[in-house]
Amino acid sequence: MNTLGRHILAEIYGCNPQTLNDRELIERIMVDSALEAGAEVREVAFHKFSPQGVSGVVVISESHLTIHTWPELGYAAVDVFTCGDRINPWDACNYLTEKFNAKHMTATEVKRGLFDQPVSVKASSL
């Protein structure tokens, strides 16, 4: 089987609560993690919740990164979905875990887009 993409679902525990509640900082770390992996950033959208928590996404040419944080639990749910062989989603995931001062991370990699025939991935943009 041929696959179009790799998708990491990361459960990041024991993070710094102040970091997880800082929208601007989370956005910067997420964008930097994408760049660290060599991705091309296309769109960015982040939202701060009351009383706490941040949700956001970075759309990249190679797919996306998302995050949802629960500062009160020190927990962040992170997804890194990349297409093609040029970049490694684990580079972004490991960068985030380090920046959040996480005590514990569990992650699963899921293959996305399964085809019998060979598939090519285009990452060109308008």
User: By CB under 8 A, is residue 83 in contact with a copy of itself?
Assistant: yes
Shortest approach of a copy of itself to residue 89 CB, angstroms? 14
- Please spell the DSSP secondary structure of the chain, one letter per residue: -EEEEEEEEEEEES--HHHHT-HHHHHHHHHHHHHHTT--EEEEEEEE-SSS-EEEEEEETTEEEEEEEEGGGTEEEEEEEEESSSS-HHHHHHHHHHHTT-SEEEEEEEEEEEESS---------
Select from 42, 86, 91, 107 the one that contacts a copy of itself (CB under 8 A): 42
Shortest approach of a copy of itself to residue 49 CB, angstroms? 5
Binding span for a copy of itself by CB under 8 A among 14-22, 28-36, 42-50, 86-94: 42-50
Shortest approach of a copy of itself to residue 25 CB, angstroms? 17
Query: How far is CA 2 from its chain centroid?
Result: 23
User: By CB under 8 A, is residue 110 in contact with a copy of itself?
Assistant: yes
Q: Would you tell me which residues interact with a copy of itself (CB under 8 A)?
A: 4-5, 7, 9, 11, 42-53, 55-57, 59, 61, 63-64, 66, 68, 70, 73, 75, 77, 79, 81, 83, 108, 110, 112-115, 119, 122-126
